A and B are shown apart, each in its own frame.
Chain A
Amino acid sequence: MKRLVTLALAALAGVCAAPASATDFSWSGFGTVGVAVSDRDYRYQRFIDRDGTAKRDTVFGAQLDARFSPQWSATVQATLAPAINSDSRWAVTPSWAFVAWRPDDDWLLRLGKMRVPLYLYSQTMDLGQTHDMARLPIEMYSITPTSDFTGINVSRSWPTSTGELTLDAYHGIASTSARYWTRDGVAPVIAPGQRYVDVDVRASGLVATLREPDRLMRLGVHAVRTSQTHGGQLPVTYPRVELAPGLGYYQVNNAIPGPGAPTVGAIHNIIVTAGAEQAFGDGWRITGEFARNFQRDTDFASSTYGGYVALFRQLDRFTPYVSLSELKATHGPMNWYRRLTENPLPEQIPGATQINQAQRIAAEGIWVADQRSIALGTSYALTSNSKLKAEWLHTHVGAVSRLIDTPPGQASPRDTNLNVFSLNYSFVF
């Protein structure tokens, strides 16, 4: 991959050597200022609680495009938003930094950092002005910690009568952070609260996209390999240690007595995504997306299915909408979450507190979710380049939701509802 980046830089240096007068520079800016407040004390989606927050949806970005010739160009985009590895800091992150070579109408080769077309609106998810929902449904748009990869993307396009069909093949790597929430921690080793684990992600994918004035369709298959940056091992399963008939625990780490837990250095996911947006007459439009995340290396890593369907009706400057979305983990991880949290050892047994705490933390490391939402909202086009949006989101949490930060000492919210009210202003120029 280093060679790839070196090649990209060499190509960039080559095209930058073109006469400055022949280079066409253009730039654009975009942003969203958003506030969201819920009717719950606990935090949802990192930041949203009863106190309200501007951190969930606010983002600012700028993009510079340099066209050296009809075939050669380069793009750099950076965004300012809450950091992906901290709940308190903001960070400037390069989303795009690539060189593009387009030898003819049909082929496009890009080298560098890009946002891959994982979801229907992956590449424009930071551009609130380009869509009408106040927030793209988390049940769909949270299946991976990032969709920004450094690597290569080859596109082949075929013109249709009013648009184009594109096939994208990509391969890339990303260094990012996976966020875990620890309710109680284990003093003094692990503090309660958010915990970020650095991970390396390697992804390859094949995505077909049909883009026409009234229609957008996308079908993708992505192979993702994830490992911990600092070489940490990932558990495959937790052996059961029986202390007496019907009484026992799971050996969640090798500091706890037991036969030893098998581990792997990396996990592999296959993610299949499908999405479509279709406009009908009289301002009606429907959008739907679905993702299935397969994982078979361990009993615990992300293995989910999620999606949503949304209906829009444009009425002059207003576009009201309703969306229904759902995210569920498969039975395997859900069953493990229950085993680790619902049958603690009696406190009278020596060492039970430590074992129960360790099991709790192990459960919190499992990517589980069981939730569905309905959102009612509207966008209002202030100008052709800016939108105001308002939304009421009602989420039902079933067995558990990893998107909720359970306060220390409290039971994890389950079989409950929460409401989120959002107001956003998005612009592009």
Chain B
Amino acid sequence: MKLIARWLCATALLLLGATAVFAADGDAIVIIGHPGLPPIDAVMVERLYTGRAIEVAGTPVTVVNATLGSASRRRFLAAWLKLDDDKYGAYWTVRRHIGKGAPPRELGTTAEIVEFVRATPGAIGYIEWGELKPGMNVIGRP
């Protein structure tokens, strides 16, 4: 009986652990692009979201952000740009006011980002892994 109890406990712990891992993966941020855009690496993501690049493989692109303070934006900035919202905002405050462009457009919900990326040639956005749907063009994975 003790053996069965131990086995059940171990199985329960394993399942809890697996759930935790799955949750972490579900929260991870992936980069999605308009159909046809090729995969990009972390350096290119950083260059696009800091305004230092505007094209991918010769195609002009438009990147969009989640709204300021949102959880997905915080996770994106931390994972992909190694920045927090304050530092990212400070960076764009300077860049905007030295005449080098405005920060990316912000969209309020994942559905808006997905729809913008689907409908706009050259569009790039990010969503949580758990929000991925079949047919989306994932061009960047953590």
Contact = CB atoms under 8 A, between A and B. Distances in A.
A123 B102 CA distance: 15
A303 B103 CA distance: 41
Contact of A98 (B54, B94, B99, B103): B99
Given A28-B97, A129-B93, 19 more contacts: A63-B96, A70-B55, A71-B54, A73-B101, A100-B99, A105-B52, A117-B98, A123-B97, A123-B98, A123-B99, A124-B98, A127-B93, A127-B97, A130-B90, A159-B47, A164-B52, A384-B89, A384-B90, A385-B89
Given A129-B93, A384-B86, A104 B99 contact: no
A15 interface: no
Contacts of B98: 117, 123-124
A120 to B, nearest CB: 11
Nearest to A125: B97
Most buried by A among B89, B96, B103: B96
A129 B92 CA distance: 13
B14 interface: no
B60 interface: yes
A278 interface: no
Q: Which secondary structure dominates where chain A touches chain B?
A: strand
A104 B101 contact: no
16 contacts: A26-B105, A28-B96, A28-B97, A63-B96, A63-B97, A70-B60, A71-B54, A73-B102, A96-B99, A105-B52, A105-B54, A105-B55, A123-B97, A127-B94, A159-B47, A385-B89
A164 B46 CA distance: 12
B140 to A, nearest CB: 18
Interface stretch (A108-116, A136-144, A243-251, A329-337): A108-116
A163 B97 CA distance: 17
Query: Top 4 A-B pairs ranked by shortest CB distance?
Result: A65-B102, A70-B60, A384-B86, A123-B98
A46 interface: no
B100 interface: yes
B93 A104 contact: no
A67 interface: yes
A117 B99 CA distance: 11
A428 B96 CA distance: 12
Contacts of B61: 70
Given A69-B60, A130-B93, A102 B54 contact: yes
Nearest to A66: B102
Interface string A119-160: 000011001011000000000000000000000000001010
A42 B106 CA distance: 51
Given A70-B122, A123-B97, A130-B93, A24 B105 contact: yes
B72 interface: no
B53 interface: yes
B99 to A, nearest CB: 6
A75 interface: yes
Contact of B93 (A67, A115, A164, A428): A428
B31 to A, nearest CB: 17
Contacts of B53: 105, 159
Interface in A283-307: none
Interface string A65-95: 1010111010101000000000000000000
B50 to A, nearest CB: 9
B137 interface: no
Nearest to A385: B89
A124 B91 CA distance: 12
Contacts of A30: 97
Contacts of A24: 102, 105
B97 A130 contact: yes
Contacts of A26: 102-103, 105
A63 B60 CA distance: 25
Contacts of B62: 70
